[in-house]
């Protein structure tokens, strides 16, 4: 879901969030007015402690030698109550050692921990980005949810290890990424967390470090623009947005934020050019179609809303929120059969349950992921459109 229009707030991108005390070696990053800000070195983010090595010996390596057996025991050690029994917590993005210590983390924290432990055992694993579509608002910032998991390569076969397996139903598009990209996600997340906490200059330093680790990481460049703009450095923010657009000319996030900046400067010609590009970008973006559909639905334009939700489904049929949106409009139009079909399809995509990331989207609506039964339509009348439609805001991305 992405946003455009005249009165924007800020948009940012993150991958699975977290905060926490960081007592580790540091590197220095130049950060505007206050001088250099201390940042943890990348190798400390991924560091495996002696306690972690003892845990691996007790739980895995003393009991298995083959890669397949070690993989199975590692999964048990990480997920079972007798092992780490990790709990999902997206309040802050933790380092490997912090996740192990706290037994809590978001998908990025978990992925960093699992890859570090697996590689300590000699297993062949990779980081894998997964597309996802959940957005939420925090203050004047709209956060786009992204996701990351582990791809294990065993005996010529590939196995996905995911802290939130339900996301595989909603977002089947994946790609293997480098360790530099995974670390860039970490610095990007921490920067946005600090920014949202009002620690703007620290946020700038962390997100800038993400762009240094992976200069091709477009969301970090757009987020850097967000952070710089909040710091009052509009010229630097513009350069960051344009850097993102050089790599991805139709990036909705960067276009929207840059257009907002041009409007603030009262540069009407440039704002108009950007708005034209943004309309083109949004046309092929299912989340833009979804957001426009929500706006039409709020204003009672149900036929227009339905056309937009259908287009969103055509562009990305695997996102259950689009089917839920169709259900609401069909229901309000009195088309019970199509409403039932849309709700059942949404339930099929959300069948991972209410504790999964997908199930939590239903929770935002006050719904339980439905079973394919005729009673499902009558059970869902409490849908509230406004709960899914944040105001026009600055757009960012982060991993949850």
- What pLDDT does 391 receive? 33
Answer yes or no: is 237 within a domain: no
Answer yes or no: is 22 within a domain: yes
> Hey, which residues does 87 pair with through a beta bridge?
104
Last residue of a domain, which of 188, 210, 231? 188
Answer yes or no: is 247 within a domain: no
Same domain for 294 and 167: no
Last residue of a domain, which of 143, 159, 188? 188
Same domain for 168 and 298: no
Answer yes or no: is 147 within a domain: yes
Answer yes or no: is 212 within a domain: no
Tokens 């990036």 appear where? 251
Question: What CATH number should be reported for the domain holding residue 171?
Answer: 3.10.620
Same domain for 290 and 184: no
Per-residue pLDDT in tens (0 to 9) along the chain, 400 residues = 222 222 334 455 555 533 222 222 334 444 445 567 889 999 999 999 999 999 999 999 999 889 999 999 999 999 888 899 999 888 899 999 999 999 999 999 999 999 999 999 999 999 999 875 555 555 566 666 678 999 999 888 888 888 875 554 444 578 999 999 999 999 999 999 999 999 999 999 999 999 999 999 999 999 999 999 999 999 999 999 999 999 999 998 899 999 999 999 999 999 999 999 998 888 888 878 888 899 899 999 999 999 999 999 998 888 888 999 999 999 999 999 999 999 999 888 876 433 344 444 444 444 444 443 333 322 222 222 222 233 345 666 666 6
3-state helix, strand, coil in the chain (%, to 5): 55, 15, 30
Q: For 154-169, give the DSSP string.
A: ETTEEEEE-SSTTHHH
- What pLDDT does 385 receive? 24
Query: Of 103, 68, 124, nearest to 113 (Cα)?
Result: 103
Q: For the chain, how many structural domains are there in total?
A: 2
- What pLDDT does 321 receive? 86
Q: Look at strands 87-88 and 104-105 and give their pairing.
A: parallel
Q: Is 16 left (phi over 0), alpha (psi -120 to 50) or beta?
A: left
Answer yes or no: is 21 within a domain: yes
- The H helix count followed by the E strand count for the chain is 17, 11
- What pLDDT does 150 receive? 93
Answer yes or no: is 341 within a domain: yes
Last residue of a domain, which of 133, 153, 188? 188
Answer yes or no: is 229 within a domain: no
Rounded-to-integer distance, Cα 329 and Cα 216, Å: 40
Exposure string (b/e) for 338-368, b if CB count within 10 Å is 16 or more? ebbbbbbbbbebbbbeeebbbbbbbeebebb
Rounded-to-integer distance, Cα 188 and Cα 104, Å: 19
Query: Of 286, 287, 255, nearest to 272 (Cα)?
Result: 255
Same domain for 32 and 169: yes
Rounded-to-integer distance, Cα 390 and Cα 144, Å: 12
> Hey, which residues does 157 pair with through a beta bridge?
154
In terms of residue numbers, what domain contains 125?
11-188
DSSP H/E element including 398: strand 394-399
Same domain for 29 and 164: yes
Same domain for 39 and 184: yes
Question: What CATH number should be reported for the domain holding residue 382?
Answer: 1.25.40.10
Rounded-to-integer distance, Cα 226 and Cα 241, Å: 8
Q: Tell me the chain's radius of gyration from C-alpha atoms.
A: 22
Same domain for 179 and 71: yes
- What pLDDT does 130 receive? 83
Same domain for 307 and 161: no
């Amino acid at each position: 879901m992405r946003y455009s229009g005249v009165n924007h707030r800020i948009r940012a991108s993150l991958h699975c969030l977290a905060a926490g005390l960081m007592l580790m070696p540091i590197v220095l990053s130049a950060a505007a007015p206050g001088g250099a800000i201390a940042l943890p070195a990348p190798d400390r983010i991924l560091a495996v402690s002696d306690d972690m090595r003892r845990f691996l010996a007790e739980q895995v390596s003393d009991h298995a030698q083959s890669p397949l057996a070690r993989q199975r025991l590692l999964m048990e050690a990480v997920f079972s109550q007798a092992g780490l029994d990790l709990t999902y917590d997206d309040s802050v993005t933790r380092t490997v050692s912090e996740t192990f210590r706290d037994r809590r983390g978001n998908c990025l924290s978990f992925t960093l921990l699992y890859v570090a432990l697996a590689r300590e055992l000699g297993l062949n694993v990779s980081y894998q980005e997964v597309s996802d579509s959940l957005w939420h608002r925090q203050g004047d910032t709209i956060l786009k949810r992204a996701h990351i998991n582990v791809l294990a390569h065993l005996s010529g076969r590939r196995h996905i290890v995911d802290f939130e397996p339900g996301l595989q139903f909603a977002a089947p598009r994946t790609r293997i990424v480098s360790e530099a990209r995974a670390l860039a996600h970490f610095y990007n997340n921490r920067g946005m967390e600090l920014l949202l906490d009002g620690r703007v200059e620290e946020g700038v330093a962390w997100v800038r470090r993400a762009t240094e680790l992976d200069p091709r990481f477009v969301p970090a460049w757009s987020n850097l623009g967000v952070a710089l703009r909040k710091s009052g450095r509009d010229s630097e923010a513009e350069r960051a947005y344009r850097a993102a657009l050089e790599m991805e000319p139709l990036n909705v996030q960067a276009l929207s934020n840059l257009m907002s900046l041009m409007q603030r400067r009262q540069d009407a010609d440039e704002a108009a050019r950007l708005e034209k590009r943004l309309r083109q970008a949004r046309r092929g973006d299912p989340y833009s179609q979804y957001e426009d559909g929500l706006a039409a639905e709020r204003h009672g334009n149900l036929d227009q809303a339905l056309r937009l939700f259908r287009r969103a489904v055509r562009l990305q049929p695997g996102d259950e929120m689009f089917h839920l949106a169709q259900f609401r409009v069909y229901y309000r139009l009195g088309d019970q059969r199509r409403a039932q079909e849309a709700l059942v399809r949404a339930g099929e995509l959300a069948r991972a349950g209410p504790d999964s990331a997908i199930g939590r989207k239903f929770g935002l609506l006050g719904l339980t992921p439905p079973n394919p039964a005729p009673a499902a339509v009558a059970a869902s009348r409490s849908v509230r459109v406004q709960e899914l439609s944040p105001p026009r805001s600055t757009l960012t991305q982060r991993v949850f």
